Amino acid sequence: MNLTFFFAAIAFYLIATAGYCIFFVQPERKSIASISLWATFLGFVLHFIYFILRWSESGRIPVTNFFEAINGLGMGIVLVFLIMELRYRIPALGTFMLPLVLLLMAPAAITSRQIAGLNPILKSAWLGIHTSLALLGDAAFAFAFIVSLMYLIQEHQLKHKRLGAIFHRLPPLDVMDTISYRALSIGWPLFTLGMITGSIWAESAWGTYWSWQPKETASLLVWVLYLAVLHLRTIGWRGRKMAYLSIAGFLFVLISFFVVSRIGVGKHTF
Amino acid sequence: MGIVVVGLSHKSAPIEVREKLYFPEETIPAALGKLMSYEGIRESLIISTCNRVEIYAYVQDSAKGVDRIKQFISDYHGIAREALEGALYVYPDAQGVRHTFRVASSLDSLVLGEAQILGQLKDAYDIALKAKTTSTILNKLIKKSISVAKRVRTETRLAEGAVSISSAAVELAKKIFGDLTGKTVMLLGAGEMAELAAQHLLSNGVKNIMVANRTFERAEELAKEFKGDAIRFEHFPDALVMVDILICATGAPNYVVKRDMVAKVIKDRRHKPIFMIDISNPRNIEPEVDKVDNVYLYDIDDLQSKVDVNTGGRAKEAERAEELVTQEVETYLQWERGLDAVPTIVDLREKVEDIRKRELDKTIGSLNGMTDDQKRAVDIMSQAIVNKLLHAPLVVLKQAAASTDSGDATLAIARKLFNLDKELKRPVHDRAAEQPVEKVPGPVKERKDVC
Per-residue pLDDT, B342: 80
Same domain for B358 and B305: no
What is the spatial distance between Cα B159 and Cα B107, in angstroms, rounded to a whole number?
10
Q: Which of B195, B26, B171, B184 is nearest to B110 (CA)?
A: B195
CATH architecture of the domain covering A120-270: Up-down Bundle (1.20)
Residue B349, domain member (yes or no): yes
**Strands B295-299 and B52-59, how do they pair?**
unpaired
Residues 148-177 of A with CB under 8 A from B: 154, 158-159, 161, 163-164, 167, 170-175
Question: Which H or E run includes B91?
Answer: strand B89-92
A254 touches chain B (CB under 8 A): no
- Do residues A157 and A166 touch, judged by C-beta distance below 8 A? yes
Q: What is the mean pLDDT of residues B207-219?
A: 87
- The predicted model scores a pTM of 0.67
DSSP tag of A121: G
Substitution target in B170, B175, B183, B304 with the highest count of A β-carbons within 10 Å is B175
pLDDT > 60? residue B439: no
| CATH number (domain holding residue B78) | 3.30.460.30
Q: For the domain that residue B227 is a member of, what is the CATH number? A: 3.40.50.720
How many C-beta atoms lie closer than 10 Å to residue A40's C-beta?
A: 25
Mean confidence (pLDDT) of chain A: 87
- For B44-58, write each residue's pLDDT tens digit: 999 988 778 999 999
**Which residue among B132, B155, B178 closes a domain?**
B155
For this structure, is B50 an active site residue? Answer: yes
Q: Are residues B20 and B39 in the same domain?
A: yes
Q: Of B311, B326, B361, which residue is a domain's last?
A: B311
Give me the DSSP letters along A43-112. HHHHHHHHHHHHHHHHTS-S-SSHHHHHHHHHHHHHHHHHHHHHHH--THHHHHHHHHHHHHHHHHHHS-
The CA distance from B403 to A164, in Å, is 51
**CB count, 10 Å around CB of B154?**
9
The total number of residues shown for chain A amounts to 270
Considering the domain boundaries, does residue B234 fall inside one? yes
Cα–Cα distance for residue pair B330/B262, rounded to 1 Å? 51
Q: Please report, for chain A, the start and end positions of each structural domain, with discontinuous segments joined by +.
A: 1-113, 120-270
Does residue B325 belong to any structural domain of this protein? no
Cβ of residue A38 closer than 8 Å to a chain B Cβ:
no
| Assigned domain for B101 exists | yes
Shared-domain flag, residues B254 and B124: no
Please tell me the distance in Å from A147's CA to the nearest CA on chain B.
Answer: 15
For residues B169 and B23, give the distance between their C-alpha atoms in angstroms, rounded to a whole number: 32
A19/B153 Cα distance (integer angstroms): 42
Q: B171 to chain A: nearest residue by CA?
A: A168
Listing DSSP states for B128-183 in one string gives HHHTT---HHHHHHHHHHHHHHHHHHHHSSHHHHHHHHHHHHHHHHHHHHS--TT-
- Does residue B442 lie within any of the structural domains? no
**Is residue B427 scored above 80 in pLDDT?**
no
What distance in Å separates the CA atoms of residue B29 and residue B33, rounded to the nearest whole number?
6
Report yes or no on B375 lying in a domain: yes
Q: What phi and psi values does residue B53 have, to the nearest 5 degrees?
A: -130, 120
Residue B118 shares a structural domain with residue B247: no
Quick one: B131 and B221 in the same domain? no
Claim to verify: residue B290 and residue B402 sit in the same structural domain: no
- Over residues B159-204, the pLDDT tens digits come to 776 666 777 888 889 999 998 988 999 999 877 677 777 888 888 8
* Edge-to-edge strand ranges of the sheet holding B184-188: B229-232, B208-213, B184-188, B245-248, B274-278, B295-299
Whether a cis peptide bond, with omega within 30° of 0, leads into B282 is: yes
* Judgement on whether residues B150 and B167 belong to the same structural domain of the protein: no
Interface predicted TM-score (ipTM): 0.86
Which pLDDT score is estimated for B448?
44
Q: What average pLDDT does this structure show over A221-235?
A: 92
B136 and B258 co-located in one domain: no
CA angle at A144 for the pair A252 and A135, rounded to the nearest 5°: 60
- Determine the structural domain holding residue B407 and report its residue range: 339-420
Asked whether the beta carbons of residue A163 and residue B309 sit closer than 8 angstroms, the reply is yes
Strands (E), B169-258: 184-188, 208-213, 229-232, 245-248
Q: In this model, does residue A203 exceed pLDDT 50? A: yes
My answer on whether B295 and B357 are in the same domain is: no
Residue B307 confidence (pLDDT): 63
Other CB atoms within a 10 A radius of the CB of residue B345 amount to 18
Q: What is the mean pLDDT of residues A207-211?
A: 83
Among the partner residues A164, A172, A241, nearest to B175 by beta-carbon distance: A172
Q: For chain A, first and last CA: distance in Å? A: 25
Nearest Cα of chain A lies from the Cα of B296 at a distance, in angstroms, of 6
Q: Determine whether the interchain pair B176/A173 forms a contact, defined as Cβ–Cβ distance below 8 Å.
A: yes
Question: How many domains are contained in chain B?
Answer: 3
